[in-house]
């Protein structure tokens, strides 16, 4: 697979607590240059980034990040605020506590509430696979499918591990046709990225692939 095609599936990501505006600006510049699918950045930078790139680049941000234990009302407010500031895509974190407590209806209701706010904008649901059993991962495939969200996403990149080939294969087997897949966290080479895509990933959350492309230029 051509590297340009892989880069076109990347959400070029910078979510570190120490991120500065200069770093976010460079991220946007590189994303425009390499034609990535979007940049994924902290909510506090969305407004400035959107003003900086205009319609040249999709701006993605995170909601309930990274632990997912905010209330639904807080996540709804965060989502509305992000969209008002110019976000084109929303990556939300589920309440893992609710999943462990088998509060499946509450999780589905929360995702639906955020999708209603997003409307035609893309909503991705982060389930933090490294903290889940296989049974819980399969259940989340079912819930995300029923919720109307656009993507199921593996990881925040802030927990104990990121995307694995096994999880993407599991997602592909259990999500509905209406749900796409985002692998995120720890994708460090074009070879791994290609394997994730072959297994079913439609998006890749990473900062490393653009960095590799820049070095090779």
What per-residue confidence (pLDDT) applies to 94?
A: 98
SS3 55: coil
Q: What is the pTM of this model?
A: 0.97
Find, among 138, 199, 139, the residue nearest to 164 by Cα: 199
pLDDT mean by block of 10 residues, the chain; 217 residues? 97 98 98 98 98 98 98 98 98 98 98 98 98 98 98 97 98 98 97 98 97 91
CA 188 vs CA 31, 181, 183, 185: distances in Å: 17, 18, 12, 9
- Residues 176-190: pLDDT tens digits? 999 999 999 999 999
**Assigned CATH topology for domain 3-216:** TIM Barrel (3.20.20)
Q: What pLDDT score does 217 carry? A: 76
| Interacting residues of 55 by C-beta distance below 8 A, sequence separation 6+ | none
pLDDT at 181: 98
**Residue 152: strand, helix, or coil:** strand
State pLDDT tens for residues 148-197. Answer: 999 999 999 999 999 999 999 999 999 999 999 999 999 999 999 999 99
Distance CA 103, CA 39 (A): 32
Per-residue pLDDT, 130: 98
Residue 7 neighbours by CB distance under 10 Å? 22
List, by residue number, the catalytic residues: 91, 153, 182
Task: Give me the residue spans of the domains in the chain.
Answer: 3-216
């Amino acid at each position: 697979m051509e590297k340009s095609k892989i880069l076109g599936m990347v959400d070029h990501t910078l979510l570190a607590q120490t991120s500065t505006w200069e770093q976010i600006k460079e991220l946007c510049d590189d994303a425009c240059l390499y034609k990535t699918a979007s940049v994924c950045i902290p909510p506090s930078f969305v407004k400035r980034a959107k003003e900086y790139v205009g319609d040249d680049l999709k701006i993605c941000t995170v909601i309930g990040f990274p632990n997912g234990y905010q209330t639904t009302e807080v996540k709804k407010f965060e989502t509305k605020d992000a969209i008002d500031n110019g976000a084109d895509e929303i990556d939300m974190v589920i309440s893992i506590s609710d999943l462990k407590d088998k509060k499946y209806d509450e999780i589905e209701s929360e995702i639906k509430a955020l999708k209603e706010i997003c409307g035609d904008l893309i909503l991705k649901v982060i389930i933090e696979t490294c903290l889940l059993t296989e049974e819980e991962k399969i259940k989340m495939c079912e819930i995300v499918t029923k919720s109307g969200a656009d993507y199921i996403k593996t990881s925040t990149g802030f927990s104990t591990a990121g995307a694995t080939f096994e999880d993407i294969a599991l997602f592909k087997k259990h999500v509905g046709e209406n749900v796409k897949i985002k692998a995120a966290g720890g994708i460090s080479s074009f070879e791994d990225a290609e394997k994730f895509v072959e297994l079913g990933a439609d998006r890749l959350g990473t900062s490393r692939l653009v960095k590799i492309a820049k070095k090779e230029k």
